[in-house]
Chain A
Amino acid sequence: MTQQGTGAVEQPSHNPAVELENLSFSYRPNEPVLAIQQWQVAAGETVFLKGPSGSGKSTLLGLIGGILAPDSGHVRVLGQELGAMGRGARDRFRAQHLGFIFQMFNLLPYLSLLENITLPCRFSKLRAGRAGDQGPEARALTLLKQLGLDPAIAARPVTELSVGQQQRVAAARALIGEPELLVADEPTSALDADSRTQFVELLLAQSKAAGSAVLFVSHDASLAPLFDRSATLTELNTVGAPS
C-alpha cells in the first residue's frame, strides 16, 4: 500500500475503522431511530450488518459517512471524531478515506465508465496518488479486470451496462485509491443468488488486497459466512425497529 501523505489527515491505520459510542440519532424530534451504546469495526475487518427493513441500517451508514450528524454521542471513523469536524472537513474526509456502493443506480449517466470509476480521485488527491503511478485510469482498468469484467466494456456508455456490471463498476469506484473503509448498502439486492456470492467474493478479495475495512449491509443472511464477522442492528440498537 503506497502511502502518499498528500491529505491533511494522518494515516490512522491502527485505529478502529469505525467506533460508535453512546450514539443517538433521530430524523424528527422525539422519534429516535438509532441508539447504540458501543460498537466497533476494526481496521481491515469485514463486517456483515443485517437487520429488518426500516431498522436504521442506511441511517447508520449515513452517520458513519459523515452525511448525517448524531444528536449525541460519538462517531469516530479511523480514529477521527466526525462531530469535531466542520461540514467541509467531513466531506473531504469522506472523499479521502471512504468508498460507497449503493443498492442500484450508482453511476452517473453522463460520465464515461472510466470517469465514473476515477471520480473519487478527482475529489481527493490522496486517492488519486494511491491509485498508482500509472494514474487512476490504468488502475481503473486493472480493477475492472480483477472484478471479473472485460476491460473492453470501458468503451460502452454506462447506461448500457447490465445491473450486475453496473454494481462491479461501482465496486471499482469504491475501491480505487484504497480507501480505509468501504461501505456497501445492499449492493447485491438486484443480483441473482449466484452473481451475489461471486460479487461479494470479488469485492472482499480486492478490499483485503487494499487493506480496507468493509461494512456490508444486506438482508441476505446467506452472504454472512463470507465476512470476518456479522452483526444484527436490532441487537445493537436499543431503540428497536419502529413498528
Chain B
Amino acid sequence: MSAPGLAAALALKSLGNRRGTALLTLLSITISVALLIGVNQVRREARSSFTNTLSGADLIVGARSGSINLLLYSIFRIGNPTGAVSWDSYQKISSRSDVAWTFPISLGDSHRGYRVLGTDENYFTFYRYGGGRGLELADGALFADDGDAVIGAEVAAKLGYEVGTPIVVSHGIGAGSFAEHDDNPFRVAGILERTGTPVDQTVHVTLAGIEIMHGADVADADHEHDDEGGEGHAEATIEPEIITAFVVGMKSRAALFGLQRIINDYRREPLSAIIPGVALTELWGLVSTAETALLVVSGFVVVAGLLGLLTTLLTSMNERRREMAVLRSVGAGPGMIFALLICEAAFLALLAALAGVALVHLGLLLSREVVLETFGIALSPGLPGMFDLLVVSGVTLAAMLIALVPAWRGYRNSLADGLTVRI
C-alpha cells in the first residue's frame, strides 16, 4: 500500500476509535456548513422567486416614486402605494400605437388578510410568471360581472373557498380591518392554479367592482369620460377615477426606453415607469449588504466550527503520542505522522461539509410546501450547485490548513519523543 493510502487508512481507523469526540466535532461543522449553505440557498431561492413572479412585462407605471417601491407594492404586494395614476392617463398610454397590451392594478382593500386587486381580463391574458407561463383557472370562470372575484390558489386553500362562496371585502389591509363593505359582497367566480407567486395570495375583482363597493352608483358611471382614449370600450359601465398602477407590454422592445422616458416626463401628472428587471437589479443592490452581512456571519460560524476541530485535534495530540511512537517503531516517518493528522482533519471536514449540504437540500425539499404557503417563495428543488461545491472544498481545504498546527506538533513530538513516550 502506498504511504498516503496507508496514512489515510490508519487515519480513518484512528478516527473511528475516537468516534465520540469525532462525531461532536463533525456535528458542529455540519451545522455551521448547513447554516452557510442554507443562507445562500434561501437567498438564491428568494431571488429566483422574485424574478419568476413577473415575466414578459415591459414596464410598470405608477405614481412618481422610487422604482423599488413601485415594484414592491404593485407586483409583490409589499408595502403600500404612495400615490395613484389617473384613469385618464392610463387610457392615454394604453391606447398608444406602440403598446401591445396593458392591465390595470388597483389596490387598497383586503379580504381576511389577503390583498384585493382590481383589474380587468387583460390581467389573466397577459400576466406571465416563471419565465413565460400564463395564469390558468383551476376551477370556475373569469369575471362575468362586477360582483365576481377570481381568487388565488392559496386564498382558496387557506380559507376553504369554492366557486360560489360569497366574500366580504374590507377597506384597508390586514385581517378584518376597518370598515367592512358587507353590503356589496363578492362571489368567488373562479380559482386560479397555484403559481408560487403573490398571485396565489390575491383576490382579483373588476375595477368596477371596487368602485361599486366604495359606493359608486351605476348611475354616475360615465362621469368624466374622456373621448381621446378608450373610446372603443363599449362595455364600460363604471370607470374608476384612479388606479394604483398598471403594467405595459410593448409591441416592440425597441420602443421601450422611448416610452419610459415619455412616461417619466409626463406633463399631466407625475408618473414613474420602471423596467421590472432593472428595478429588481436595484433591489438586489439594496439588499445585498444585508445578504453579505448574513453570509459573513455564517462564514464566521463555519470558522468557529473549524476552530472546534483544531481544539479537538490538539487535545487528542497528547493522548496519541504513544500511537505515534508505535507507528514510528514499525517504520512510519515523521512525514507519515504529519499526513495522518492532515488526512484525519480533511476526512472529518469533508464528511461534515457533505452532511451539511445534504441537510440543507433535504430540508428545503421537505419544507417546500410550508415555505410556499407561508412566504409565497417557491423553492426549486435545485441540486447542489457551484456554491455548495465551493463551500465543501473550501471547508475541507481550510481544515487541512488548520490541521497543519497539530500535524506540525505531531511531527515535532515524534522526532523529540523517539521511541520513549512520556505522557
The stretch of B11-19, B56-64, B164-172, B197-205 that contacts the partner chain: B11-19
Q: Among residues 404 to 423 in chain B, which have CB atoms less than 8 Å away from a CB atom of chain A?
A: 418-421
The answer to whether A106 and B1 have CB atoms under 8 Å apart is no
Q: Among residues 171 to 199 in chain A, which have CB atoms less than 8 Å away from a CB atom of chain B?
A: 173, 185
The answer to whether A58 and B330 have CB atoms under 8 Å apart is no
The answer to whether A123 and B330 have CB atoms under 8 Å apart is yes
The answer to whether B335 and A95 have CB atoms under 8 Å apart is no
| Chain B residues positioned under 8 Å from A208 (CB to CB) | none
The answer to whether A106 and B332 have CB atoms under 8 Å apart is no
Known: A105-B322, A111-B13, A122-B6. A100 touches B333 (CB 8 A): no
List the A residue with the shortest CB-CB distance to B19.
Answer: A110
What distance in Å separates the Cβ of A154 from its nearest Cβ neighbour in chain B? 17
Residue from B13, B14, B330 within 8 A of A100 (CB atoms): B330
Residue from A67, A107, A109 within 8 A of B419 (CB atoms): A67
- The reply to whether the CB of A108 lies closer than 8 angstroms to some CB of chain B is yes
The answer to whether B331 and A62 have CB atoms under 8 Å apart is no
Bound Cα distance from A119 to B333, whole angstroms: 14
Size of interface on A: residues with Cβ below 8 Å to B: 30
List the B residue with the shortest CB-CB distance to A111.
Answer: B13
- The reply to whether the CB of A120 lies closer than 8 angstroms to some CB of chain B is yes
List the A residue with the shortest CB-CB distance to B328.
Answer: A67
- The reply to whether the CB of B329 lies closer than 8 angstroms to some CB of chain A is yes
Size of interface on B: residues with Cβ below 8 Å to A: 24
Known: A100-B329, A109-B17. A185 touches B419 (CB 8 A): yes
- The reply to whether the CB of B398 lies closer than 8 angstroms to some CB of chain A is no
Known: A62-B418, A67-B419. A102 touches B329 (CB 8 A): yes
Residue from B323, B331, B336 within 8 A of A108 (CB atoms): B323
The answer to whether B331 and A65 have CB atoms under 8 Å apart is no
| Chain A residues positioned under 8 Å from B1 (CB to CB) | 122
- The reply to whether the CB of A229 lies closer than 8 angstroms to some CB of chain B is no
| Chain B residues positioned under 8 Å from A65 (CB to CB) | 329, 418-419
List the B residue with the shortest CB-CB distance to A185.
Answer: B419
The CB with the most chain B CB atoms within 10 A, among A67, A124, A173, is that of A67
| Chain A residues positioned under 8 Å from B419 (CB to CB) | 58, 61-62, 65, 67, 100, 102, 185
Bound Cα distance from A105 to B321, whole angstroms: 11
The answer to whether B330 and A119 have CB atoms under 8 Å apart is yes
A interface footprint on B322-343 (CB within 8 Å = 1, 0 otherwise): 1101111111111110000000
Bound Cα distance from A173 to B325, whole angstroms: 15
B interface footprint on A191-218 (CB within 8 Å = 1, 0 otherwise): 0000000000000000000000000000
The answer to whether B331 and A120 have CB atoms under 8 Å apart is yes
Bound Cα distance from A92 to B332, whole angstroms: 8
What distance in Å separates the Cβ of A4 from its nearest Cβ neighbour in chain B? 17
Bound Cα distance from A91 to B411, whole angstroms: 14
Interface SS of chain B: helix, strand, loop or mixed? helix
Bound Cα distance from A110 to B326, whole angstroms: 13
Known: A87-B333, A88-B333, A122-B1. A106 touches B418 (CB 8 A): no
List the A residue with the shortest CB-CB distance to B329.
Answer: A100
The answer to whether B330 and A173 have CB atoms under 8 Å apart is yes
Bound Cα distance from A92 to B1, whole angstroms: 14
Bound Cα distance from A87 to B328, whole angstroms: 12
- The reply to whether the CB of A94 lies closer than 8 angstroms to some CB of chain B is yes
| Chain B residues positioned under 8 Å from A62 (CB to CB) | 418-420
| Chain B residues positioned under 8 Å from A110 (CB to CB) | 13-14, 16-17
| Chain A residues positioned under 8 Å from B420 (CB to CB) | 58-59, 62, 185
Residue from B16, B327, B329, B331 within 8 A of A92 (CB atoms): B331
| Chain B residues positioned under 8 Å from A123 (CB to CB) | 6, 330-332
The CB with the most chain B CB atoms within 10 A, among A62, A96, A123, is that of A123
Bound Cα distance from A96 to B333, whole angstroms: 13
The CB with the most chain A CB atoms within 10 A, among B325, B331, B418, is that of B331
- The reply to whether the CB of A68 lies closer than 8 angstroms to some CB of chain B is yes
| Chain B residues positioned under 8 Å from A105 (CB to CB) | 322, 326, 421
Bound Cα distance from A119 to B17, whole angstroms: 17
Q: Among residues 93 to 138 in chain A, which have CB atoms less than 8 Å away from a CB atom of chain B?
A: 94-96, 100, 102, 105-111, 119-120, 122-124
What distance in Å separates the Cβ of B54 from its nearest Cβ neighbour in chain A? 59
Residue from A87, A94, A106, A109 within 8 A of B331 (CB atoms): A94
What distance in Å separates the Cβ of B20 from its nearest Cβ neighbour in chain A? 13
Residue from A61, A67, A88, A106 within 8 A of B335 (CB atoms): A88
The answer to whether B13 and A91 have CB atoms under 8 Å apart is no
| Chain B residues positioned under 8 Å from A185 (CB to CB) | 419-420
| Chain B residues positioned under 8 Å from A119 (CB to CB) | 330
List the B residue with the shortest CB-CB distance to A63.
Answer: B418
List the A residue with the shortest CB-CB distance to B3.
Answer: A123
Q: Among residues 121 to 180 in chain A, which have CB atoms less than 8 Å away from a CB atom of chain B?
A: 122-124, 173
The answer to whether A91 and B323 have CB atoms under 8 Å apart is no
| Chain B residues positioned under 8 Å from A91 (CB to CB) | 328, 331-333, 336
The answer to whether B330 and A95 have CB atoms under 8 Å apart is yes
Bound Cα distance from A172 to B287, whole angstroms: 68
Bound Cα distance from A25 to B6, whole angstroms: 33
The answer to whether A120 and B330 have CB atoms under 8 Å apart is yes
6 A–B contacts from the bound complex (CB under 8 Å): A87-B334, A91-B331, A108-B327, A110-B13, A110-B14, A123-B6
- Beyond contacts A58-B420, A67-B419, A102-B329: 14 other A-B pairs, Cβ-Cβ < 8 A, are A61-B419, A65-B329, A67-B328, A87-B333, A88-B335, A91-B336, A95-B330, A100-B419, A102-B421, A105-B421, A109-B17, A110-B14, A120-B331, A123-B6
The 9 closest A-B pairs by CB, nearest first: A95-B331, A110-B17, A123-B331, A91-B333, A100-B329, A62-B418, A110-B13, A67-B418, A58-B420
